[in-house]
Chains A and B, each alone.
Chain A
């Protein structure tokens, strides 16, 4: 029998493989395991010793952690903080509107499954790194809100909440994001996962409001591959999810124009997010999930470096 260590978790980064795995918690674990085994690095080794930030020395601090090089430059005592000692607040915001239930093929996950898998995996990873993790699930309204915490049972709370929600109504991004900006205290790293099928200006306005509150934003725009190419032929009656109407057409006749519309929407998001320094990434449900995790870690590392540089600059 193969031991757990011998299991190649990397295969679970493939959405098609993950789609066959039932249970969000197990799926998230597999994503993380697969991710790190792919990097030849385990989250259980060295995570606590990885330097992350500096803070001023206070009485009672272990003198071994004083950074003497900084003292030599600044004549002030700074304690080296390692990753497990960081206090990053991560808010995962998942779109659970009806449009997220769509999947074009049985081999693929629905957009919501993909989003919750990524959200759970990110939460797991963040909590493992001692970050505080919160969750907001919304459709027309915020259906579920878990305040950020790094408590031991936080991940289970998050996973349970992600698994419990089912999309019912349409998305109202602007209102949701405005409400979130009011609820979230301080500077928070917010990861918004959804198809964002709303007016692009409304989405961008909501993001702008969050940025105004000095939150860090990561937006992962999830698409089903069919939504990108409209690969159908023959007469088809498209019944819009989120009560968006019905349309009987031969999709071949609209494909070109449809793709243009999609690309225009994505371009508008990309441009708007770029202006606001919001990390926007597009995923389709066939994209391996390690891409999302890599994106998160890269953003987290960059943020920690910025904080460190800021401290160094003050010193």
Chain B
């Protein structure tokens, strides 16, 4: 190693000079060297501390000394050297010496910056075939941690070590190259498997960043990736395509001097036990009202190589078991979608829990449960503004729409959506914040102030649906509504066209079609070809020639022109129909499915307010508060066990949220329901795992290496144990040193006895 470089290296890394010493305990070594002076000092002191003896037979003593002087000196020095050697070797022995290139330049420069990436994502909690679910002793993570600790032992004490974890988001646990091995071991020991998903890309990006900032020479850097290498992350479904993880690994390999030796991948996955997981749970309707039946769909996937039998799906509503249905036998890789209908008796956030039960646990117990927070409403107020008021129930521009949104006859009870129809002129006097959505039907024009009010309303999360018609002033809409793509309206309108003019045959009039890709709002029509939606005709409409960024065509006419365009504006959403809401230009409102379309559109515009209450592990709860709520007592009840076992109550933080405040709690590391109490109101949050972690299949590392296209080192699970660790080498050297100490002690005793006498006699002279 270039000495100048060594100096630079030490300076750059702020390495304690003792770290470069060839001992695990350099302080002890320094102490031993200091203690080595003791025999010399004793020797010198003894030369000054002697007993005076008058002696008669001096001639014989002098004669003896003449013959033995040189030998005596040699023996004395030998004895002194033995004693020094005993102390030094003993001190060096307990200081744990080791041999390395750093301490013996003849061996070359081998101080290496070693970066260990440890996967602590959810899939690493999978237990082995012989293990019990939840038993960490038999998890992939434990194997991984042991592997990492073995690796640490195998590294030379002068190596710098960094550690990165992969649980989303990837975190550098030890970022700067650390030389304190005990500290690194402690940090690694403190890492726990999480419920989070894997952020492989992030972890490798972090490793690349560490490599970029590493003061070590490029040839002296190494990366170890210890993971279960989930197939879902590493293997692309389309052959020949690289996944983001593979690309990241390639980038990491390219950042190393010689990936064949410097990049080691270690797969700690084992033959996992069968794993059955709830991958999804949802309600089909985004609008849930009191005593309004909803359908709950639960998806169960068998991530096993064997058929899953005798298992049940237990469903709880607000903690009470409402269903427990047997699961059908699930073949390996098969999916079961189970539906059930339920309803809620009161408004508020409600919790649905699904859990797989039955004999025999599986490899990953966390994904056997799933939670769903549902916002149950008393009603959804909607404001309908019609350009032309009608004299009868179906004459107005919004008449069909109002009927579709509230199809019940008077006296049939309260329905979910509560439409209010007003005239164009009445809009300025309405408080828009009282409505979940505003729907304009053939409104000719709006004042600039009204456009601004609507923009602010949608910006804050309100929904706006626009139906056109013969009264619409196109230029006005384009100027103030579209505003060159910056306004509320997602498309610029052209003049209306008569679709029948070209055909003169109503049967040839354009019909409605689903635009591709199918928008979520109309997804339920994708498998319903007989729907009236597809047979409805349109006689007249406004073609659009330009759409704003981020807008999507939801429905189109059979001639390809857009029929329904959706976009987002601020926190709200906007839907633009290019035709009318009544029968003037299309017969769609007369179709039975118009009710479904109207409800879907309303759901799209006024989504369930509780969507932000269904989170993945790692996210934080953020609940906007009204000024009144901000003054109320707040608490968070985290239920770690849904059966009511353990729970913690904590006080959340208040954080700014625009002009108001919001309640913040988290991030939450465990999949569980969390109840937030604001005053007397309780809100339930559902914290779930990323279902992709449930698939425990691992990629074959040989395949991975082939995908990367460059050689990297594949380590075994016992990697590290294959090598004689530095600590072990150090122990052996220490043992050898102590053995030599024992031998030297015996030699010293023998020499001292040989030179010494049996007893001392005090001499006197009279």
Interface residues of A (CB under 8 A from B): 98-106, 110-111, 113, 195, 197, 224, 226-227, 230-242, 244-245, 247-255, 257-258, 260-262, 265
Contact = CB atoms under 8 A, between A and B. Distances in A.
A204 B56 CA distance: 20
Given A241-B56, A250-B76, A233 B50 contact: no
Contacts of B628: none
B757 A252 contact: yes
A262 B60 contact: yes
Given A102-B56, A231-B759, A233-B756, 6 more contacts: A101-B56, A227-B56, A233-B757, A233-B759, A255-B757, A260-B64
B53 A239 contact: yes
Contacts of A237: 50-53
Given A197-B57, A232-B757, A249-B65, A101 B766 contact: yes
From B47, B56, B67, B755, residue with most partner A Cβ within 10 Å: B56
A240 B59 CA distance: 8
Contacts of B763: 104, 226, 232
B765 interface: yes
Interface in B259-301: none
Nearest to A263: B60
A268 to B, nearest CB: 12
A249 B72 contact: yes
Contacts of B53: 232, 236-239
A221 to B, nearest CB: 12
B528 interface: no
B764 interface: yes
Nearest to B47: A235
A245 B62 contact: yes
A227 B757 contact: no
A254 B72 contact: yes
A98 B57 CA distance: 11
A231 B756 CA distance: 9
A301 B719 CA distance: 100
B706 interface: no
Contacts of A265: 60
A244 B58 CA distance: 6
Contact of B57 (A99, A232, A260): A99
Interface in B726-766: 755-766
A197 B72 contact: no
Contacts, number: 141
A156 to B, nearest CB: 24
A254 B756 contact: no
A232 to B, nearest CB: 6
18 contacts: A101-B56, A103-B766, A113-B766, A197-B57, A233-B760, A235-B47, A236-B53, A240-B58, A241-B54, A248-B47, A250-B76, A253-B75, A253-B755, A254-B65, A257-B64, A257-B65, A258-B60, A261-B60
A12 B560 CA distance: 147
A173 B65 CA distance: 24
A226 B761 contact: yes
B649 interface: no
Instruction: Give the dominant DSSP class at A's interface.
Output: mixed
A265 B54 CA distance: 21
Contacts of A255: 757
B61 A258 contact: yes
A251 B51 CA distance: 11
A242 B55 CA distance: 9
Contacts of B75: 253
A241 B765 contact: yes
Contacts of A100: 56
A233 B51 CA distance: 10
A167 to B, nearest CB: 10
B529 interface: no
A67 B54 CA distance: 60
Given A237-B50, A253-B755, A105 B761 contact: yes
Contacts of B46: 234-235
A257 B50 contact: no
B680 interface: no
Contacts of A105: 761-762, 764
B17 interface: no
From A101, A111, A234, residue with most partner B Cβ within 10 Å: A234
Contacts of B238: none
B760 A234 contact: yes
A135 B47 CA distance: 46
A234 B51 contact: yes
Contacts of A252: 755-757
A236 B50 contact: yes
Contacts of B67: 257, 261
Contacts of A239: 52-55
From A102, A195, A231, A248, residue with most partner B Cβ within 10 Å: A102
A277 to B, nearest CB: 27
A236 B72 CA distance: 15
Contacts of B414: none
A231 B57 CA distance: 13
A160 to B, nearest CB: 20
A276 B49 CA distance: 48
B63 interface: yes
A99 B765 CA distance: 10
Given A239-B54, A258-B60, A261-B63, A232 B766 contact: no
B50 A240 contact: no
B52 A254 contact: no
Contacts of A234: 46, 50-51, 760
A193 to B, nearest CB: 15
B761 A195 contact: no
Contacts of A250: 72, 76, 755
B346 interface: no
B764 A253 contact: no
A292 B687 CA distance: 114
B66 to A, nearest CB: 9
A235 to B, nearest CB: 4
Contact of B68 (A226, A242, A253): A253
Across the A-B interface, the 5 shortest Cβ-Cβ residue pairs: A240-B58, A99-B56, A244-B58, A102-B56, A257-B64
Contacts of A197: 56-57, 59
Contacts of A257: 64-65, 67-68
Contacts of B72: 249-250, 253-254
A119 to B, nearest CB: 18
Given A234-B50, A237-B53, A102 B760 contact: no
B51 A254 contact: no
A252 B764 CA distance: 18
Contacts of A227: 56-57, 60
A171 B49 CA distance: 32
Contact of B64 (A102, A224, A235, A254): A254
A247 B63 CA distance: 11
A249 B55 CA distance: 13
Interface string B193-209: 00000000000000000
A102 B57 CA distance: 9
Given A248-B47, A258-B64, A232 B760 contact: yes
A129 to B, nearest CB: 32
A216 B764 CA distance: 36
Interface string B163-188: 00000000000000000000000000
Contact of B58 (A113, A231, A233, A247): A247
A133 B614 CA distance: 134
Nearest to A199: B59
Contacts of B765: 101-103, 110, 241
Interface in B39-94: 46-47, 49-65, 67-68, 72, 75-76
A107 B75 CA distance: 35
A241 B764 contact: no
A244 B51 CA distance: 18
Contacts of B54: 102, 238-239, 241
Given A233-B756, A233-B760, A257-B68, A238 B58 contact: yes
Nearest to B756: A252
From B55, B756, B762, residue with most partner A Cβ within 10 Å: B55
